[in-house]
Every structure is written in structure tokens, then in C-alpha cells.
Amino acid sequence: MAETSTTLTVGLAQIDCRLGDVAGNVERHLAWIETARGQGVDLLVFPELSLTGYRLLHLTSRVSLRADSPELARLAAAAGPMSVVLGFVEEDDRGLLYNSAVLLQGGGPAHVHRKLYLPTYGLFQEERFFGAGKRLDLAPLPGGRGGVLICEDMWHPELARRLAVAGARLLVVISAGPGRIGAGALADSQEVWETLTRSSALLNTCWVVYCNRVGWEEGSFYPGGSHVVRPGGEIVERAPFLEEHLLTAEIDLRDVDRLRWRLPLLDDERHDIEGPA
């Protein structure tokens, strides 16, 4: 029996970004795209708002791009046969702004996810500057359909669940998650993220890749710690703390089916349970 390829090489570009400097960040992306292509990456993932930096505040409206902008077209062309997920400030036809992820494929945008949950508490101010997305769709990732989520979206686990139930075998999570440390061996922020991604990979029985950025913005640091989680929740690769890094991992989407035969959680999912009132 002929076997179609279910394996792909994922690259997580754990980069730093210059705040508000789209042109400079495009150049950085081009360099990482070239490196990743040299390493045979099939799907390259950049962090949340990787083209603009995260803490934009009133710079947000100065750095927005449409999904069909020349900047994104240039990156898509450079990607060649490789698929790329990156983060940018998206402006729609009505001039509304979104914290979006775009999948670039075959020379152009193949999927856009607008962040659904905009954190506006603590140091986060996203609802002041962004509109919230309204749709959750599967993305045509290499190897099959998958999901793309942005940072806070992972804190509302029904989104990952819905994607998995709809057929996603790989969840791509891009993030600009600030670091916090305490007494623990790992940063507190890393413990929290690994709890989220590992429980998602366990309960949704799928691959989860998490790409977080590094660097500093106005006194707040991004620790990196990007990682790849196998279906079932085991971390197979983890990028270093605080350093720019291209983390690559070979993942077999067939592992999802193999686990689901043993652990049919999604097949058992019930949608007919009533209550609580």
C-alpha cells in the first residue's frame, strides 16, 4: 500500500522583534525564512505580532497591514514551498484592526486567524486597540487540516477542543507571553504555558506547537521557551530561555490517530448533555 507522507518538519522561530518597526522586522523574517528553508522546514512558525512587536499601544494604527499587502506577499514569495505562520496587525476593509495570524502558502495568504480573546487586565491592554475575531476555522496546514490560535486563545480551552473535534491534528499556538519568575526551577510563566499546552495535547489528543518570542519591551521580558508537545502531552523539544533560536522537530501526524485508537476521547465527546440550568 502506498503511504502518503504524514510527517513534517516544524520550525519554531523564537525571535526578538523591534517594536513598531515593520520594515526591519520583515528583514528579520526573511533571514529566518532562509535559514529554515536551508534546514528543510515544512512549516515555519513565528511568534504573535512578530512583524510589529507586541506592546504597541497607540502605535497599533501606524503598523497595520492588509492580508494582501506587499509586505506579506514578499514574505510568502521568499517562503517558496514552505508554509509560514506569522503574527501581524491586520486591517480589514472597514479599517478595523485585529491581532492576527496569517498562514502564508503557495505565494500568498491561505488562512487568517483573528485573535478571539483579547486580554485586557494586568499589563495587557488589547481591547483598547484591537477588535476581537469572530470566527474559528481550520487552517490548511501541510500534512492536513489544523488549527492556529494566538496566546490568550489557549486560556479558553473550548477553542482547541472545537478545532480538534472538527479534525485538527496539529495546533499551532503563537504567543508574546511575558515572563515571570519565582522560586521554581523553571520560570513561573513557563510552568503555566507548559501546563496549558500539555493538557491540550493530552485532552485533545493532538500535536501542539507553541512559539513564544524573546526580548524586552518597556521593562517586560519575553522568555521564549517555545516547545513541541506530542499527542498525549510529552514535550519532545524545548527552545532555550531568553535566546533567539530556531527549534525544529519532525512530527508524525499519524501519531494522532495511533493515540486516538487507544484513547478515543474525541470520539466519546458528547454534545447532548443538558444542564446545569
Partner 1 sequence: MIRRDQVAQRLELNAPLAATVLTSFIKDAVLTAQSSGVVLGLSGGVDSALAATLAVHALGPERVHAFLMPYRTSSPESENDARAVAGHLGIPHRKIDISPMVDAYFTAEEPDADPGRRGNKMARERMTILFDQAKKLGALVLGTSNKTEILLGYSTIFGDNASSLNPLGDLYKRQVWQLSRHLGIPAQVVDKKPSADLWPGQTDEGELGFDYGTADEVLYLMFDLGLRPAEVVARGYEERVVERIVWLEQQFRFKRRLMLIARLSGSAINLDQEIPRD
Residue 219 or residue 275: which is nearer to partner 1 going by CB? 219
The DSSP result for 80-99, as a single string, is TTSEEEEEEEEE-TTS-EEE
Residue 55 or residue 260: which is nearer to partner 1 going by CB? 55
Residue 53 or residue 146: which is nearer to partner 1 going by CB? 53
Q: How far is the CB of 75 from partner 1 (least distance, A)?
A: 21
Q: How many residues form the binding site for partner 1 (CB under 8 A)?
A: 26
Q: How far is the CB of 129 from partner 1 (least distance, A)?
A: 10
Find the binder of partner 1 among 218, 268, 272, 274 (CB under 8 A): 218
100-123: string of b/e by CB count within 10 Å (b at 16+)?
bbbbbbeeebbbbbbbbbbeeeee
Q: How far is the CB of 154 from partner 1 (least distance, A)?
A: 23
Q: How far is the CB of 28 from partner 1 (least distance, A)?
A: 13
SS3 of 197, please?
helix
Find the binder of partner 1 among 13, 19, 148, 202 (CB under 8 A): 19
Q: How far is CA 172 from CA 7, 111, 145, in A?
A: 16, 13, 11
Q: How far is CA 237 from CA 89, 134, 142, 202, in A?
A: 29, 33, 20, 16
CB 190 within 8 A of CB 235: no
- Report the site for partner 1 in 40-59 (rule: CB under 8 A): 53, 55-59
Of 131, 132, 167, 168, the C-alpha closest to 148 is 168
Site for partner 1, rule CB under 8 A = 18-21, 53, 55-59, 179, 181-185, 187, 215-219, 221, 223, 241-242
